[in-house]
Amino acid sequence: MPKFLIESLLRRPVTEKAPVPDEAALAELGRRLDALAHRRLGRSLAIREVDAGSCNGCELEIHALNNAYYDLERFGLRFVASPRHADVLMITGPVTANMREALERTHAATPDPKWVVAVGDCAFDGGLFAGSYAVVGGVDAVIPVDLHIKGCPPSPRALLEGLVALVEKSA
């Protein structure tokens, strides 16, 4: 253990350079974020992640944002355990019929101002699962979405570019 601590003090961090905010994300957000919300929230956003039906692939890559290479918290973004503490809901998966009410209630439990980020191809329009009896569709079939980050799953890099755009616009 002491060896690890000394090593950590002496070694350069593995954390990589910040990405440039994604242009498309900036454009999508530009239409939606108002100045008042910007002033209230400053540059710090609390995120509540909700799996509304995903295969868990998106969760793995969202998890990776917390590892030392991406270190999401340096951008003022952090994951919180309750929607009551959140500014941003990050939703994955095609919304299943069984998860619909839970998603609506999580959204209702999140105080305003709030943003919804739909992560992954399934969250965009149901993806591969669209048309199933058990699937409602993309996230915006249930709650309004401010930003889509596509991919199957989107890489941590792509997630970071989208989220950094969100902080830029909300600052």
Partner 1 sequence: MSLRAALFDAALEVFDQKPWPRIRVDEETWIRAIFGLHAGDVILTALWGEPGHVHMGLIEEETGEVLVLSLACPDGRFPSVGVTHAPALRLERTLREMVGLVPDGCPDDRPWLDHSRWGLRHPLGAAEPAPAEGAPYAFLSAEGPPMHQIPVGPVHAGIIEPGHFRFTANGETVIRLEERLGWVHKGIEGLMIGADLDRAAALAARVSGDSTVAWSLAFARAVEAAVGIAVPKRAHWLRALMAEMERVANHLGDVGAVCNDAAFSQMLNRCGQLRERVLRAADVAFGHRLMMDRVVPGGTGVDLVDPRPIAETATAVREGFRPLIHLYDNTVSLLDRTVTTGRLDPALARRWGAGGHVGRACGRRFDSRRLPGYPPYDVLRFDVPVRETGDVDARVWVRILEIGESLKLIEQILAGLPAGPHRVEVDAAGAAGREGVAMTEAFRGDSFIWLRLDAEGRIARAHFRDASVFQWPLLEAAIAHNIVADFPLLNKSFNCSYSGHDL
In the complex, which residues of this chain contact partner 1 (CB under 8 A)?
A: 1, 3-4, 14, 49-64, 66-69, 79, 81-83, 93-94, 96-102, 106, 128-129, 131-135, 152-153, 155
Picking from 12, 13, 14, 20, the residue whose alpha carbon sits closest to that of residue 157 is: 20
Distance of CA 91 to the CA centre of its chain: 7
Shortest approach of partner 1 to residue 53 CB, angstroms? 5
Chain CA centroid to CA 34, Å: 19
Q: Smallest Cα–Cα separation from 61: which of 125, 123, 142, 134?
A: 123
CB 105 → partner 1: shortest distance, Å?
8
Considering the complex, state which of residue 26 and residue 135 has its C-beta at the smaller distance from partner 1. Answer: 135
CB of residue 83 to partner 1, shortest distance in Å: 8
Q: How far is the CB of 34 from partner 1 (least distance, A)?
A: 28
In terms of CB distance, is 4 or 36 closer to partner 1? 4
- CA 165 to CA 149: how far, in whole Å? 11
Q: Which is nearer to partner 1, 44 or 132 (CB)?
A: 132
Could you give the angle at which helices 156-170 and 23-30 cross, rounded to 10 degrees?
Answer: 40
**Closer residue to partner 1, CB minimum distance, 26 or 106:** 106
The answer to whether 154 touches 22, Cβ cutoff 8 Å, is no
